[in-house]
Amino acid sequence: MDTRAFKRSLHHSERYNRRGFGLGEQVAGSLEQAYQSDLIAGLRDNGYELRHGRLTVRLAEAFGFCWGVERAVAMAYETRRHYPSERIWITNEIIHNPSVNAHLRDMNVLFIRVEEGVKDFSEVGVGDVVILPAFGATVQEMQLLNERGCHIVDTTCPWVSKVWNTVEKHKKHAFSSIIHGKVKHEETLATSSFAGTYLVVLDLAEAQMVCDYILGKGDREAFITHFAKASSPGFDPDLDLVRVGVANQTTMLKSETEEIGRMFERTMLQRYGPAELNDHFLAFNTICDATQERQDAMFSLVDEPLDLMVVIGGYNSSNTTHLQEIAISRGIRSFHIDTPERIGPGNRIEHMPLGGDLEVVAPFLPEGPLRVGITSGASTPDRVVEDVIRHLMELCGN
């Protein structure tokens, strides 16, 4: 499929919208009431610090809603205002935050059902309105909705679209795309649908496996088995790793993506020499600015003396998980929660350990003076962060 030609055709359709409906002022009040916070605005003005009795809260200097998320949520609200009576669907969570998605359900926005990992579009009819979330949608989903005669509202983050353009450049020049991402994440699924030949690597260890194979150190059958669910159909490592380009899921850890790019550049340099490097390796910067800013702010925060860290965001939020990784890498007692209700009743917290299942810790807060670091993923509203801080204030008393 010529994905570039399809996108051009779709973008010229009268049933496709990626710019919103010019209703920003009409929905601004609803967005402010649901998501903004005077308390958080005050913390920003006070050097990102709040003191309350024995509690000191240190807030990361970049956290929460990014521009792409704000844009997607605002477009979803505008869509409901523009289509007051039509059936409106969304192909996935608009963003990875339970409170935001609950608000959309309250606005009678329907979510495509997923059964055993497969989306069921059977109930979507001609003339229905379908929102594509901030992570994007696969080209096959867009094609299905277009052919069905749906009105498509595309809230895909421009940074995600930038990655799609990158893998299309790889495809155009007959390079395989090495995608640093989580193979089942919606964004990576969408990105791989725009790629030609591709391989998804989760981390440095998997990237090293690929580099070793390129240098003749791997076993073909073991390699094919390992990456069977993380590669394009018919992927042949002996043919498809000769020319590679690197891209990424925009919410991955910046430093890891950069190191993976350097690993492949060194590997191709060793395998083919400097004169032929450009014939075998391509790299474009596809790291999201907002992801980078939040990770940089987290690194600065964990350099401070903290008694514990609270990371707020959806449990399926990749960028939030990587913030948690940073805290853990510094040996800080850290708790990842998705909603303020995970704290309490009393001095307890229900949280998601990295790579684990939900567990309860009680008592949660120690006695005496307490410095708590707080950050939140790019899909978390300020209002949610405020509610977490108020829970901590209540636990610490006056």
DSSP 212-241: HHHTT-S-HHHHHHHTTTSB-TT--HHHHT
How crowded is the C-beta side of 148, counted as CA atoms within 13 Å? 19
Locus of tokens 């040996």: 331
Instruction: Calculate Rg over the CA atoms of the chain.
Output: 23
User: How far apart are the C-alpha atoms of 352 and 334, rounded to whole Å?
Assistant: 10
Q: What local confidence, expressed as pLDDT, does residue 246 receive? A: 95
Identify which has the larger pLDDT, 292 or 332: 332
Q: What local confidence, expressed as pLDDT, does residue 296 receive? A: 94
* Start-to-end CA span in the chain (Å): 64
Q: What local confidence, expressed as pLDDT, does residue 398 receive? A: 59
User: How far apart are the C-alpha atoms of 177 and 189, rounded to whole Å?
Assistant: 13
Which of the four pLDDT bands, split at 50, 70 and 90, describes residue 95? confident
Tell me: pLDDT of 191 over 70.
yes
Structure pTM? 0.91
Q: Which of 63-67, 250-254, 278-282 has the lowest mean pLDDT?
A: 250-254
Share of the chain above pLDDT 70, in %: 100
> Which tokens in the block code for residue 87?
């059936």
Tell me: pLDDT of 283 over 90.
no
Locus of tokens 């595309």: 154
User: How far apart are the C-alpha atoms of 247 and 233, rounded to whole Å?
Assistant: 19
Contact 156, 186 (CB under 8 A): no
Q: Which of 2-6, 84-88, 129-133, 152-156 has the lowest mean pLDDT?
A: 2-6
State the chain's mean pLDDT as an integer: 94
Q: What is the mean pLDDT of residues 313-331?
A: 93
Give 343's DSSP letter: B
Active site residues: 187
Q: Which residues have CB under 8 Å from 87's CB, separation 6+?
A: 110, 125, 128, 129
Q: What local confidence, expressed as pLDDT, does residue 189 receive? A: 95
Identify which has the larger pLDDT, 93 or 183: 183
Q: What local confidence, expressed as pLDDT, does residue 286 receive? A: 77
Q: What local confidence, expressed as pLDDT, does residue 32 receive? A: 92
Q: Which of 36-45, 206-215, 235-244, 289-298 has the lowest mean pLDDT?
A: 289-298
Identify which has the larger pLDDT, 155 or 292: 155
Q: What is the mean pLDDT of residues 104-124?
A: 93
Share of the chain above pLDDT 90, in %: 88
Q: What local confidence, expressed as pLDDT, does residue 251 receive? A: 85
Q: What is the mean pLDDT of residues 195-204?
A: 97
Q: What is the mean pLDDT of residues 139-166?
A: 95
Q: Hey, is 52 helix, strand or coil?
A: strand
How crowded is the C-beta side of 80, counted as CA atoms within 13 Å? 19
Q: What is the mean pLDDT of residues 203-230?
A: 97
Identify which has the larger pLDDT, 207 or 93: 207
Q: What local confidence, expressed as pLDDT, does residue 70 receive? A: 92
Q: What is the mean pLDDT of residues 171-185?
A: 95
User: How far apart are the C-alpha atoms of 195 and 192, rounded to whole Å?
Assistant: 5
